[in-house]
């Protein structure tokens, strides 16, 4: 073994810098994503965690430019495998979607086309991106349904979405997402609509396939249990900003931001059943009228005057850890 040789990390597959997303209407502007920065390497799973309305799904859709162009204003930079996503023309975007980058949506019943069979929908994706015949594409569709452990896969090719259970529909959606061997997989709360047993099965399957294929993955969820099962790193979002980031084990064992601590205290996992859950008081802010300081301050028991005056800058209290909180060093926080 050679001494002094330090292994180099793979370059980032996706790099997001200062991403800002606004939804502009005649009457107001919603500040949905506010200066988000992160990166994901090949084979790595980043889990974006937060409450509904925190900007998780908007961030994911911005990576594929799936937001309505008429009322959406995007700034910052998004680079995937060396491509500037915000500069791509429509033809290049079509090649990106489903080819280099694929997405698993939360509710497959609304994402799948109800008038086409599962086999035809997967085959269409393969034909478009791989330029093969329908016979070859259908054979690939069968391989994929078997890969995601759908029983009687050959007969399921001819099923319509409504003929499958929720769990099987989600597996079919995963098969479609993997059909062209994407390098980056985006998963928008893909297990939320499933019961607990099926949820675990789908999570185990996703993690297994992700490792086998070496895909970079961004997984959006509001569930800490899901994050602990699937993630390598966690980015916690609140009011459109990443307020904490770090390796999953470190964040869950030692959360640095009050919001992350609040999320962990609000779950039933590992809690004493004889006492009430310590829910976060109040409600998330109105994205049309964000406060000038820390957006979490009105709900935070540690908030001080300095929290109300300016948005906290990122702080890096340990290697690989980041938190946006000016109260990190006070004794009450230790």
For 217-228, the pLDDT digits (tens) are 999 998 888 888
The pairing of beta strand 233-238 with beta strand 72-80: unpaired
Query: Which DSSP state fits 9?
Result: P
Instruction: Indicate the pLDDT class of residue 304, thresholds 50, 70 and 90.
Output: confident
Instruction: Write out pLDDT tens, residues 56-111.
Output: 999 999 999 999 988 999 999 999 999 999 999 999 998 899 889 999 887 778 88
Instruction: Write out pLDDT tens, residues 231-251.
Output: 999 999 999 999 999 999 999
At residue 223, the pLDDT reads 85
- Give 3-state DSSP helix, strand, coil % of the chain, rounded to 5: 35, 20, 45
> What is the biggest distance separating any 2 CA atoms in the chain, rounded to whole angstroms?
67
Question: To 5 degrees, how large is the angle CA 167–CA 181–CA 206?
Answer: 35
Of the two residues 274 and 15, the one the predictor is more confident about is 15
Domain boundaries, the chain: 14-100+182-333, 108-181
Q: Are 232 and 48 in contact (CB under 8 A)?
A: no
- pTM for the full predicted model: 0.88
Instruction: Write out pLDDT tens, residues 183-214.
Output: 999 999 887 767 778 788 888 888 888 888 88
Q: How far is the C-alpha of 240 from the C-alpha of 187, rounded, in Å? A: 18
At residue 5, the pLDDT reads 47
At residue 272, the pLDDT reads 59
Task: Provide the mean pLDDT of the chain.
Answer: 88
At residue 21, the pLDDT reads 97
Nearest C-alpha neighbor of 241 from the set 76, 50, 85, 79: 50
Q: Name the CATH architecture for the domain at 14-100+182-333.
A: 3-Layer(aba) Sandwich (3.40)
Instruction: Indicate the pLDDT class of residue 7, thresholds 50, 70 and 90.
Output: very low
Instruction: Write out pLDDT tens, residues 247-289.
Output: 999 999 999 999 999 888 877 555 556 666 777 888 899 999 9
Q: Are 321 and 245 in contact (CB under 8 A)?
A: yes
At residue 220, the pLDDT reads 93
């Amino acid at each position: 073994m050679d001494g002094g040789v330090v292994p180099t990390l793979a370059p980032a597959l996706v790099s997001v810098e200062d991403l800002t997303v606004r939804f502009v209407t005649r009457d107001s502007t919603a500040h949905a994503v506010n200066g988000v920065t992160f990166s994901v390497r090949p084979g790595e799973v980043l889990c974006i965690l937060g409450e509904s309305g925190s900007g998780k799904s908007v961030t994911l859709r911005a990576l594929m430019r799936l937001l309505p162009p008429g009322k959406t204003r995007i700034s910052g930079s998004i680079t995937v495998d060396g491509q500037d996503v915000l500069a791509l023309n429509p033809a290049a975007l079509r090649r990106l979607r489903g080819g280099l980058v694929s997405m698993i949506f939360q509710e497959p019943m609304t994402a799948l086309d109800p008038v086409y069979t599962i086999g035809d929908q997967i085959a269409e994706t393969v034909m478009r991106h791989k330029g093969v015949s329908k016979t070859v594409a259908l054979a690939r569709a069968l391989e994929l349904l078997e890969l995601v452990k759908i029983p009687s896969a050959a007969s399921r090719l001819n099923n319509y979405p409504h003929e499958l259970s929720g769990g099987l529909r989600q597996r079919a959606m995963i098969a479609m997402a993997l059909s062209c061997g994407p390098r980056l997989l985006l998963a928008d709360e893909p297990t939320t609509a499933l019961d607990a047993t099926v949820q675990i099965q789908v999570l185990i399957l996703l993690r297994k396939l992700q490792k086998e294929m070496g895909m970079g993955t961004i997984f959006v969820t509001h569930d800490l249990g899901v994050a602990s099962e699937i993630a390598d790193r966690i980015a916690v979002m609140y009011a459109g900003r990443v307020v904490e980031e770090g390796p999953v084990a470190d964040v869950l064992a030692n959360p640095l931001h009050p919001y992350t601590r609040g999320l962990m205290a609000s779950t039933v996992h590992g809690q004493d059943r004889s006492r009430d859950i310590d829910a976060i008081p109040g409600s998330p802010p109105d994205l049309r009228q964000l406060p000038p300081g820390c957006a979490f301050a009105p709900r935070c028991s540690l908030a001080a005057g300095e929290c109300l005056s300016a948005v906290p800058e990122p702080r890096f209290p340990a290697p690989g850890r980041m938190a946006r909180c000016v109260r990190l060093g006070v004794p009450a926080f230790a």
